[in-house]
């Protein structure tokens, strides 16, 4: 069973979009997939429960029969930094509790491929004591996929994020260039720069889409995930 962690260069890099594409593509090849969102901030009431739209998408594209509540143990209403939202809600975010819930979910659904999506960027705080969401993949030794939101400033963001992961002793399995800005100048040159500067392979380049289409995005990253596809 494979577990991978997805992080991004910033909040709007497109983690959920790319994660959904990966889940969809592998599910189509009969891989039993599970998307998981341990922490989400920004949710609305649906049928009496708080539901985060990102978690709902991960549930939708998972092969496992799950809903958003099954894969998102900490769901906070305001779209702000998770540790601030948790403080406002009187909730303490505990890494051990997150891992316990994930393991229980994996035991129940027996996925072959689990994708754990982070919140925001790599060093999102869980509290003011220095704990971050990065501690989870770091301690569990999960390989990480970095989604680079291609826009002005992304070179700095990507290199800093990669350096932080390497400093944390985490394996950067690869990165996906997600073209979020259709007007970005020298986009292809920036992508080539990242290919030269980052210490891991580019798993695909997803063009700008006015409407996010994970099914179509898969075709741009499929070769990067070929090892996980059933033939």
DSSP string across 14-60: -HHHHHHHHHHHHHHTT--EEEE-SEEE--EEETTEEE-HHHHHHHH
Task: Please give the structure tokens belonging to residue 69.
Answer: 């509540």
Listed in sequence order, the residues at least 6 apart from 135 whose beta carbon sits closer than 8 Å to its beta carbon are 95, 126
> Does the annotation list 161 as a binding residue?
no
Nearest-10 Cα torsion for 16, 20, 18, 201: 130
> Does the annotation list 17 as a binding residue?
yes
Active site residue 37: yes
> Does the annotation list 139 as a binding residue?
no
> Does the annotation list 178 as a binding residue?
yes
> Does the annotation list 94 as a binding residue?
no
Q: How many CA atoms lie within 13 A of 142 on its CB side?
A: 23
Q: Residue 147 has what DSSP assignment?
A: E
Backbone angles phi, psi at 53, to 5 degrees: -65, -35
Listed in sequence order, the residues at least 6 apart from 149 whose beta carbon sits closer than 8 Å to its beta carbon are 8, 9, 10, 12, 13, 14, 157, 178, 180, 181
> Does the annotation list 70 as a binding residue?
no
> Does the annotation list 47 as a binding residue?
no
> Does the annotation list 117 as a binding residue?
yes
> Does the annotation list 13 as a binding residue?
yes
SS3 209: coil
> Does the annotation list 16 as a binding residue?
yes
> Does the annotation list 67 as a binding residue?
no
> Does the annotation list 169 as a binding residue?
no
Q: Report angle CA 126, 95, 125 to the nearest 5 degrees.
A: 15
> Does the annotation list 12 as a binding residue?
yes
Distance CA 32, CA 5 (A): 17
Query: Which residue among the candidates 37, 151, 195, 230 is catalytic per the annotation?
Result: 37
Annotated binding site for ATP: 12-17, 54, 117-120, 178-179
Annotated binding site: 12-17, 54, 117-120, 178-179
Annotated binding site for Mg(2+): 16, 54, 117
Catalytic residues: 37
């Amino acid at each position: 069973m494979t577990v991978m962690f997805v992080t991004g260069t910033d909040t709007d890099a497109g983690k959920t979009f790319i994660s959904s594409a990966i889940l969809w593509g592998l599910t189509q090849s009969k891989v039993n997939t599970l998307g998981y969102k341990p922490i989400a901030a920004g949710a609305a009431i649906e049928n009496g429960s708080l539901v985060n739209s990102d978690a709902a998408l991960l549930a939708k594209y998972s092969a496992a029969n799950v809903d958003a509540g099954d894969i998102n143990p900490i769901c906070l209403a305001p779209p702000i930094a998770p540790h601030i939202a948790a403080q406002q809600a009187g909730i303490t975010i505990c890494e051990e509790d997150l891992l316990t819930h994930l393991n229980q979910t994996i035991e129940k659904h027996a996925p072959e491929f689990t994708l754990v999506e982070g919140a925001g960027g790599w060093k999102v705080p869980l509290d003011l004591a220095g704990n971050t969401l990065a501690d989870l993949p770091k301690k569990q030794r999960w390989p990480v996929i970095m989604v680079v939101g291609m826009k002005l400033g992304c070179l700095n963001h990507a290199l800093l994020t990669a350096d932080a992961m390497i400093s944390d002793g985490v394996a950067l399995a690869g990165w996906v260039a997600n073209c979020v800005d259709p007007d970005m100048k020298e986009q292809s040159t920036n992508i080539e720069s990242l290919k030269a500067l980052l210490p891991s392979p580019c798993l695909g380049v997803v063009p700008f889409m006015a409407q996010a289409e994970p099914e179509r995005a898969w075709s741009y990253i499929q070769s990067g995930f070929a090892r996980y596809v059933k033939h």
